[in-house]
Amino acid sequence: MTTVEPTTSYPLSSRNRVKRRHDRGFYDHATVHKLLDASMLCHVSYVIDGQPYCTPTFFWREGKTLYWHGSSASRMLKNQSADQRVCLTVAHLDSLVLARCGFNHSADYRAVMAFGSAYLVTDPDEKERALVAMVDRFFPDRTASLRQSTTQEIKATSVIAMEIEEASAKIRSKGVADDDEDYELPIYAERIPVRTVLGAPEPCPRLRDGVERPASLHGYSEGRLLEDALADAYFLQYPGS
Amino acid sequence: MTTVEPTTSYPLSSRNRVKRRHDRGFYDHATVHKLLDASMLCHVSYVIDGQPYCTPTFFWREGKTLYWHGSSASRMLKNQSADQRVCLTVAHLDSLVLARCGFNHSADYRAVMAFGSAYLVTDPDEKERALVAMVDRFFPDRTASLRQSTTQEIKATSVIAMEIEEASAKIRSKGVADDDEDYELPIYAERIPVRTVLGAPEPCPRLRDGVERPASLHGYSEGRLLEDALADAYFLQYPGS
Write down all domains in chain B, each with its CATH number in brackets: 22-195 (2.30.110.10)
Residue B227 to residue B234: CA distance in whole angstroms: 10
Name the pTM for this structure. 0.93
Partners of residue B175 in chain A, C-beta under 8 Å: 202, 204
Q: What is the ipTM of this complex?
A: 0.92
What dihedral do alpha carbons B3, B8, B12, B18 form, nearest 10°?
-150
> Which residues lie closer than 8 Å to B1 by C-beta, 6 or more apart?
none
Predicted confidence at residue B74, as pLDDT, reads 55
Cα distances from B208 to residues A93, A97, A191, B95, B227, in angstroms, run 28, 18, 16, 42, 31
Which of B134, B184, B199 shows the shortest C-beta gap to A193? B199
Nearest to A54 among B54, B102, B142 (CB): B54
Rounded Cα gap, residues A129 and B125, in angstroms:
57
Give the distance, in angstroms, between the CA of residue A154 and the centroid of all CA atoms in the same chain.
23
* C-alpha span between A70 and B227 (Å, rounded): 28
In tens digits, chain A (241 residues) has pLDDT values of 444 445 788 888 888 887 777 778 899 999 999 999 999 999 999 998 889 999 999 999 999 999 998 754 556 666 454 679 999 999 999 999 999 999 999 999 999 999 999 999 989 999 999 999 999 999 999 999 999 999 999 988 899 999 999 999 999 999 999 999 999 999 999 999 999 999 999 999 999 999 999 999 999 999 999 999 999 999 999 987 7
Q: Do B208 and A44 touch (CB under 8 A)?
A: no
CA A1 to chain B, closest CA, distance in angstroms equals 42
Interhelix angle B29-37/B226-237, nearest 10 degrees: 110
Length of chain A: 241
Q: Which amino acid is at A185?
A: L
Partner-chain contact A102 B40, CB within 8 Å: no
Contact A192, B198 (CB under 8 A): yes
Contact B220 A192 (CB under 8 A): yes
Nearest to B199 by CA among B168, B224, B235: B224
